[in-house]
Amino acid sequence: MLHRLFDHRINCLSIMTELELGEYISLVENVYRQTGGLEGQRAPLKTKTAITIRNRLVEDIKLGAVIPPVVLGAFVDSDDVGRAHRAETANALLDILGRGDIERVSIIDGMQRTTAMLEALKQQPELKNMPVRVEFWVSEHLNSLVYRMLVLNSGQVPWEIGRQLETVYGQFLKKIRNDLGGEIEIFLVNSQRRRVQAGQYQSKNIIELLLLFASRKSEMDFKDRVAEDFARLDAIETTAHNEFIEYFIGALRMMSEIDRAFSRYSGADRLGDSRIRSGKDFFSGFPSMAGFCTAVSISLFDEPGFQIDWEAAQSRFEDIQASVRRVTQRLDAMNQAELAEFLQADLLEERLGQRSGQVGRFEREFFRKAFLSLFKNGDRLRDMTPCWLA
């Protein structure tokens, strides 16, 4: 039996049903495999209390306890949303959702419960027929699933959301591949591949960039609980709008365009021990990526704490795109000597070397200010000096 409710707030279909435990584990096993196992999705349970609670839950499941529903997200096209709305049985619904396709179905709430169920099933295989409640959130809009996950987990360990987002990264990266085509290449968590050219990024970095873009901050300050709470509220507010994901993907596109334009610089005049040995090194570290995406977010949505003007966002975004386009077009027309003069790698290296403590925080803020300057002054930059001195 399927029980349906439609969430008009985020255009998402909620479907509650029951599955047998063995069927549920089979449904999500691809998620386990692609993300390195559920245990890797959240910080390991190290304290005696946490381990005791986990073991208690496993024992309760073995004794037939009813646990709260696990929530799965399903990212599908509009036709499949309609088919899911008409499905009459759980089996029919699973057929529509691809029965565990990593790019369609993912766990957005209930990771620890699922881990406990898996352990209980391993210890007691006859539990495979035990009924478990599962709620599906079915949507053609990825931001709806991200928003729902942020809200569902708002009372949990702060910014463990970053790890939980890895459970929807298959759907998220699928959309990026569809929208950006061959413009960027994203390395999955377990691929063990490293960046060798512009436009290549790690999936975990893309996920963190999404959170930073949503919160309009270049980093999350775990020690500042008040700032952290406001960052969470900003993220929830931002992801509630359908345009959010499109703006973020647009930011990734612009970042890859700048990355490729900078990478034309061969660095033949650079010393071997230089940090910026060639153009591809400008975006080889995460701080520059974080600074760029945060600069786009602030230019688009205003600084953290201010109300977002969604009507003005589109024209602001077009202004940012135009500024980036002017810079990249100029770079594409330059020879190596002109690139070296424009990029001012020596000045950048000198500026980055000025800070010894809290290097990561300093560099994220440095690049945020630098790219804000680039967006503002792209049509009148003679070189990157004003950006590196911002």
Domain ranges in the chain are: 3-147, 182-388
Half-sphere exposure of 128 (CA within 13 A, CB side): 7
pLDDT tens, position by position, 203-253 = 888 888 888 888 888 876 544 444 455 455 566 667 777 788 899 999 999
Sheet holding 3-7, edge to edge: 3-7, 12-20, 131-139, 70-75, 105-109
CA distance 39 to 116: 10
> What is residue 191's predicted lDDT score, i.e. its pLDDT?
65
Tokens of 273: 């021990």
Q: What's the whole-number mean pLDDT along residues 73-80? A: 86
- The answer to whether 272 and 278 are in contact (CB under 8 A) is no
Looking at the predicted structure, is the pLDDT value of residue 343 above 90? yes
The neighbouring-strand residues paired with 15 are: 4, 136
pTM of this structure: 0.72
Q: What is the pLDDT of residue 291?
A: 96
* pLDDT one-digit tens code per residue, 145-197: 777 776 765 545 444 555 555 555 566 777 787 888 778 888 766 666 778 88
